[in-house]
Amino acid sequence: MNIHKPETQFKRVIEYLKQSSTVSEHNKKLILDFVDYFLAEGEGHSEIRAVKYIYMLKKVSEFLQKDFTKITKKDAITFFKDINTDKEKMEWTRHDYKVIAKRFYCWLDADMKKKPKQLKEAIEYIKSQKVKRARSKEKAAEHMLKPDEILKLADHTNNSRDRAFILTFYESMCRIGEILPVKIGDIESDDMGIKMNVSGKTGRRYIRLVVSSPAISNWLTNHPDRDNKEAYLFCGIGRVNQGQMLSYFSARKMIFETAEKAGIKKRVNLHKFRASRASELATSVSESVLCKLGGWEQNSSQLREYVFLSGADVDKEILRVNGLLKEEDAGNGFKLSICPRCQQRNTPKARFCSSCSLPLDERTVMRYDQQKEQATKAGFELFEAGESTQDAINQAILSEIKAIHQENQVLKQELEAVKKQ
């Protein structure tokens, strides 16, 4: 299933081009002729990519401010110089402008039998430009989302669906086009969590979900059509789109808004979830397992485009191999919190058990123990004291009770928030 609705986008961008007052009719015709040729080439040349070509060639036309067939070598030099030095554009955006301009003029060179001298010189210059497939600085290790940031995103969602989506999207390492079409019938619960069946570029595969399984189970209790195996797992919950597959644009908007709400300063987009998860797992699982999890062919060179390790990651792995790194020092915050009382699986870093309400983290347990000890101690002092100190002790106990009450109110609010998740 294509989640981008390419036919609709293609029609809209063509109309957008035709209505443009900044592109000459001559250039409009050439752009559309080139796109027809591009689509006629067949496999791998999709309408989604054609949409990108139309949009970018429109921008190229606006930059040149003349017909494509009237440019000079100087125009071409200026275009490539400005693209290369435009730091406001992402590295891959600059790369794509150069590739598309070069591909367009290679097509034009073959399509035009007779060309004026200045156009020939311009085309020769454009064709001579080498476009390197450089890695974007945006994909450096420090720009990847860390497990703590994923959990922070999940904690700032507005509902159980969005929380489940963020945790599942990250843990599964799915492409966005793989996770959105998943239906309730594609997931299966067992003693270890959830198995999710997805369809991707390398066929169908099962993905084991552990950390996100409590969030999925909680979302399913609120799902508008939870008993229907054909219902989309992540569906619309509004009046207009209830039950429909969550759209690509809705998912992207939700991620952007949640990141802003959570105060995450890094650039957050849908693609970064997959790259971040691959980078996290790269230090703990083999490349063959990583390929299987991510839906890549074995020994795929594409994996290298996704894994970004920092010096600290490498250092940590060397320490682990040499037995110098304790498990608790591994730094992986993306693990379940298991309740010691009822064995309930809770989302990472949960402070209270969602089943029995027992505090889960050591800090919260210590706070409760301290409160209990203080109250007990105050009670013994009350009985042992003489009448002369009774009033002073009563005041001290009253102050202690007020402090404990305030502390309990905070903990109560935190517990209620957990139960709503």
pLDDT for 283 equals: 78
pLDDT for 372 equals: 59
Q: Report the C-alpha gap between 365 and 258 in whole angstroms.
A: 30
Number of neighbours of residue 365 by Cβ within 10 angstroms:
14
What is the amino acid identity at position 273?
A: F
Q: Tens place of pLDDT for every residue, the chain, 421 residues?
A: 555 566 777 888 899 999 999 999 999 999 999 999 988 876 555 777 888 899 999 999 999 999 999 999 999 999 999 998 887 777 778 889 999 999 999 999 998 888 899 999 999 999 999 887 655 554 567 788 999 999 999 999 999 999 999 999 999 999 998 999 999 999 999 888 899 999 887 788 999 999 999 999 999 999 999 999 999 999 999 888 899 999 888 999 999 999 999 999 998 999 899 989 988 888 788 888 888 888 888 877 777 766 766 566 667 766 766 666 665 555 556 777 777 777 777 767 676 777 776 676 656 556 656 665 665 665 555 555 555 555 655 666 566 656 655 665 655 555 565 555 5
Specify whether the CB–CB gap between 245 and 225 falls below 8 A: no
The length of the chain in residues reads 421
56: tokens are 């970018």
Q: pLDDT tens, 322-363?
A: 666 665 555 556 777 777 777 777 767 676 777 776 676 656
Q: pLDDT tens, 195-248?
A: 999 988 778 899 999 999 999 999 999 999 999 999 999 999 988 889 999 988
User: Which strands, in side-by-side order, build the sheet including 187-190?
Assistant: 187-190, 193-200, 203-209
Specify whether the CB–CB gap between 290 and 303 falls below 8 A: yes
pLDDT for 99 equals: 92
Q: What are the distances in angstroms from CA 88 to CA 52, 99, 139, 334?
A: 19, 18, 16, 34
Specify whether the CB–CB gap between 45 and 38 falls below 8 A: yes
Phi, psi of 263 (to 5 degrees): 75, 25
pLDDT for 11 equals: 87
Q: Report the C-alpha gap between 323 and 327 in whole angstroms.
A: 10
Domain boundaries, the chain: 6-134, 141-321, 351-420
Three-class SS string for the chain? CCCCCHHHHHHHHHHHHHCCCCCCHHHHHHHHHHHHHHHHCCCCCCHHHHHHHHHHHHHHHHHHCCCHHHCCHHHHHHHHHHHHHCCCCCHHHHHHHHHHHHHHHHHHHHHCCCCCHHHHHHHHHHHHCCCCCCCCHHHCHHHCCCHHHHHHHHHCCCCHHHHHHHHHHHHHCCCHHHHCCCEHHHEEEECCEEEEEEEECCEEEEEEECCCHHHHHHHHHHCCCCCCCCCECCEECCCCCECCECCHHHHHHHHHHHHHHHCCCCCCCHHHHHHHHHHHHCCCCCHHHHHHHHCCCCCCHHHHHCCCCCHHHHHHHHHHHCCCCCHHHCCCCCCCEECCCCCCEECCCCCECCCCCCECCHHHHHHHHHHHHHHHHHHHHHHHCCHHHHHHHHHHHHHHHHHHHHHHHHHHHHHHHHHHC
Q: Report the C-alpha gap between 176 and 414 in whole angstroms.
A: 32
pLDDT for 50 equals: 87
pLDDT for 345 equals: 74
Domain at 141-321, CATH class? mainly alpha
Phi, psi of 307 (to 5 degrees): -95, 125
pLDDT for 241 equals: 87
pLDDT for 399 equals: 66
